[in-house]
Amino acid sequence: MPNVDERHPFGRLLTAMVTPMRADGSLDLDGAGTLATYLVDEQGNDGLVISGTTGESPTPSSEERDRLIAIAVEAVAERPSRDRVAVVAGTGTNDTAATIAATRRAAVLGADAALVVAPYYNRPDGRMLEAHFRAIADDGDLPIVVYNVPSRTGSNVDADTFLRLADHPRVIAVKEASGSLEQIARICRDRPPDVAVLAGDDAWTLPVLVLGGDGVVSVASNEIPAEMTALCDAARAGDWAGARRIHERWLPLFLANFRGGPNPVPVKAALARMGLIGGDAVRQPLLPLDERAGAEMASTLRGLGLVDEGGRERHVTVTAESVA
C-alpha cells in the first residue's frame, strides 16, 4: 500500500468517489466500475471512499450501497500495480444498530475500513456520540474513520470527544470538516501517534497539513487526482512553498465544487463535462446544476485548462514545479 507508515495505514489521499447515475436516478453501475478503475489504476490515489457524502449516501438503499462497495473492491483487486488502494466504505447512519450492521456487511465485502458519519437529525450530545462510535468500533468488524461534518449533521464531535475515542484500537482517523481551526489544531496536537487527521474539505487540505495533519478525503481528486497527490507529497517532503502553489492554483476548483448546489451536484457537473462520467444526474431531492451555475462551472473548468473551449477534456497534470 502506498505511503504507509504508522499513522497512514491507508495513505494520504483518499478520493470521495461520486456515484454515477442515469437520468432516471438509477445507479450507473458500469459507470461506477469505470470511474473506480480509472481512479485506482492511473491516478495516484491511496484510497477510495465509497458512499460518503460525495457518493450521495443518504439515498441509495443498503443493497445499492453494498453493490457499490463490491464494485470498488473488485476494481482494487484487478489493479495491475503492487500498491494496493484501500476501500473505505461509508456505513454511517443515525441508527447505531443499523450502522453496525452496515459496517459488518462492508467487512464481508472486502472493505478495509468504514467511514462513519456522526448521527444526523437526532443530534446526540458528546456522551451519546462517544457511545455510538464506541459501539461501532467494538462490533462493526472494521477500523473506523470518524466523520465530523456539523454543517450536515447538526452535531459536532468536539476535540475532547474525539480524543477519548482515539484511544480505541479500531478508531484510526478522523475526517475533520468542522471548519474550526482551533479544534483541528488541538486534535492534531493531542491525538495518539497512530491516529490520522484527514481534512474533510479540499480548501482546508493545506491548513490541516500545516497543522500536522496527515491528508485529505478529497472531492477534487475525482477531477484532479494527480494534482492532489502532488499537494500531499509536497507537504510530506516539507516543500511548503510548492504545496502552497498547488493549493493556490486549484483553489478556484475547490470552491466551485461547492457553489451552485450542495455536494456532489457541482462536482458531478464538472466530471460530466470532463468526460469522466456519463452525465450529471443526481438522485432527488437533489437536482443537477441550473443553467447559470452550469455555465459558471464550465467557465471555471476552461479557465483551469481542464476542458477546452469546445468543452472537451484537456487535462494537463500540474505539479509543484510546473506551477512555480
Residue 252, Cβ density class (10 Å: 0-12 exposed, 13-18 middle, ≥19 buried): middle
Q: Active site residue: 38, 121, 147, 268, which one?
A: 147
How far apart are the C-alpha atoms of 207 and 296, rounded to whole Å? 27
Residue 192, Cβ density class (10 Å: 0-12 exposed, 13-18 middle, ≥19 buried): middle
Max Cα separation, the chain? Answer: 54
In our burial notation (b when 16+ CB lie closer than 10 A, e otherwise), range 11-37 reads: bbbbbbbbbbbeeeeebbbebbbbbbb
How far apart are the C-alpha atoms of 304 and 196, rounded to whole Å? 31
Other Cβ atoms within 10 Å of 324 Cβ, number = 8
Q: Active site residue: 120, 121, 175, 268, which one?
A: 175
Other Cβ atoms within 10 Å of 241 Cβ, number = 10
Q: How far is CA 278 from the centre of its chain?
A: 21
- Catalytic annotation present for 38: no
- Catalytic annotation present for 175: yes
How far apart are the C-alpha atoms of 85 and 299, rounded to whole Å? 33
How far apart are the C-alpha atoms of 257 and 263, rounded to whole Å? 7
Residue type, 8: H
Which helix (DSSP H) or strand (DSSP E) does residue 73 occupy?
Answer: helix 62-77
Catalytic residues: 147, 175
